[in-house]
Homo-oligomer: A and B are copies of this chain.
């Protein structure tokens, strides 16, 4: 018998594969941070001798959730200014507060709180766009969560950099710095077409190819953005990004609430990854991303929460549920984005979008052991006819009981093992006191 680190034997094993499998009496073998096998429990247990056997008799085991769009540190602005028109919210509240408070200390505290929240809710990988990426990367490494950290670029000065050139230089230095990390990768993160001009976007197109890095951008978030682009550039933002060489499978286009039928076709043909942020789009009344149509066109759709100041949480189970419900409502079709498709969007599609399709996003031999157990014996998820239905339409984040990332169990029976939540919380409260003073 081969000696290995751990066997996890759940009630239901949901690998998230093309066949939409739901397996019972199956187990997963983990060793050296990787999934080395899955199969019938008896077979796995007779083949391997594990240091730890984790039985989860009322639980579904799924791949770790991938949150494909966050501004993690903004947890410190959660509920700081709600129910306001978008421009008033940004100009009178968020931007002045960011200008006043954002620095490495703020980013460290806010990111730690975000990571706690994400681990607690079953997210094992997030794609971040904020300032001080080196700080974000350190927080992720320390807590043991996978992160794709944005090399942000924006035309105006912030505490992080003065101008587009400095943003890019610092970004590329960051990319070099984290190259050997097993948990952290980097993506170019030009903020949006309306805040980044042509020259840096062109540079990013070239660099992203050279370094084989994703490009993470807010795109077609509101009708206003599209109109402004037409009046300033004579073309819609998607067309502008196309001319700048950015419209391909490395692009993570976030929001996409304003799409013409021909744009849907182009997006699908070019393999662009649409990051749908259902709750943020609703809360800010940005418009509806046409998920049902994108699906029909075979476009790639993954999911993100956006930052906690426009959602107001980083809860991917909540997000995938809202996404599935909203796709049906907006598409006028109760079969749109069914439960399994929604789980695919929140896992394997996100991983592919971040260029991590070979690393994470499904329970498959050879991939990293990024897996999550969800307790379905809660009164809101009994009785279970179909565990995927229960996960998508009935479960909430607090039913996540255990989380493994690269084989390390970072949540054990709802308790953090890699971070000290009490001190994260204390620090967040201190920031709140300063900010609201």
- Interface positions of A from 240 to 298, Cβ below 8 Å from B: 279, 281-285, 287-288
Q: List 9 A-B contacts (CB under 8 A).
A: A75-B382, A80-B385, A82-B339, A86-B334, A117-B379, A285-B333, A311-B393, A322-B325, A398-B399
> CB within 8 A of A380: which of B334, B379, B397, B424?
B397
- Set of chain B residues within 8 Å of A86, measured between Cβ atoms: 334
Please tell me which stretch of A158-166, A190-198, A230-238, A425-433 contacts chain B, meaning at least 4 of its Cβ atoms lie within 8 angstroms of it.
A425-433
B328 engages A380 (CB within 8 Å): no
> Within the complex, what minimum Cβ distance (angstroms) separates A185 from chain B?
25
Please tell me which stretch of A10-18, A140-148, A313-321, A402-410 contacts chain B, meaning at least 4 of its Cβ atoms lie within 8 angstroms of it.
A313-321
A2 on interface, CB distance cutoff 8 Å: no
A101 on interface, CB distance cutoff 8 Å: no
A377 engages B334 (CB within 8 Å): no
> Within the complex, what minimum Cβ distance (angstroms) separates A77 from chain B?
8
- Set of chain B residues within 8 Å of A285, measured between Cβ atoms: 328-329, 331-334, 336
- Interface positions of A from 110 to 138, Cβ below 8 Å from B: 113, 116-117, 120-121
- Set of chain B residues within 8 Å of A377, measured between Cβ atoms: 425
Bound CA span A127–B120, Å:
34
- Set of chain B residues within 8 Å of A83, measured between Cβ atoms: 334-335, 338-339
Bound CA span A436–B384, Å:
10
Encode A76-92 as 1/0 by CB contact (under 8 A) with B: 10111011111001000
- Set of chain B residues within 8 Å of A85, measured between Cβ atoms: 334-335
A314 engages B79 (CB within 8 Å): no
Interface centre among A116, A282, A287, A379 (most CB of B within 10 A): A379
- Set of chain B residues within 8 Å of A288, measured between Cβ atoms: 329
A286: nearest chain-B partner, CB-CB: B329
Whether A76 contacts B383 in the complex (CB less than 8 A), given A285-B329, A377-B425, comes out as yes
Whether A79 contacts B380 in the complex (CB less than 8 A), given A285-B331, A334-B285, comes out as no
> Within the complex, what minimum Cβ distance (angstroms) separates A110 from chain B?
10
Range, interface on chain A: 35 or more
Encode A321-355 as 1/0 by CB contact (under 8 A) with B: 01001101101111110110000000000000000
> Within the complex, what minimum Cβ distance (angstroms) separates A39 from chain B?
25
A424: nearest chain-B partner, CB-CB: B379
- Set of chain B residues within 8 Å of A84, measured between Cβ atoms: 334-335
Bound CA span A348–B37, Å:
54
- Set of chain B residues within 8 Å of A308, measured between Cβ atoms: 394
Instruction: Mark A residues whose CB is within 8 Å of B.
Output: 75-76, 78-80, 82-86, 89, 113, 116-117, 120-121, 279, 281-285, 287-288, 308, 311-315, 318, 322, 325-326, 328-329, 331-336, 338-339, 377, 379-386, 389-390, 393-394, 396-399, 421, 424-425, 428-429, 431-432, 436
- 5 A-B pairs besides A283-B328, A377-B425, A398-B399 with CB distance below 8 A are A83-B335, A113-B379, A322-B322, A380-B397, A383-B432
B82 engages A380 (CB within 8 Å): no
Bound CA span A377–B385, Å:
34
- Set of chain B residues within 8 Å of A396, measured between Cβ atoms: 315, 318, 396-398
A385 engages B325 (CB within 8 Å): no
- Set of chain B residues within 8 Å of A120, measured between Cβ atoms: 379-380
> CB within 8 A of A325: which of B279, B338, B421?
B279
- Set of chain B residues within 8 Å of A399, measured between Cβ atoms: 398
A79 engages B431 (CB within 8 Å): no
- Set of chain B residues within 8 Å of A339, measured between Cβ atoms: 82-83
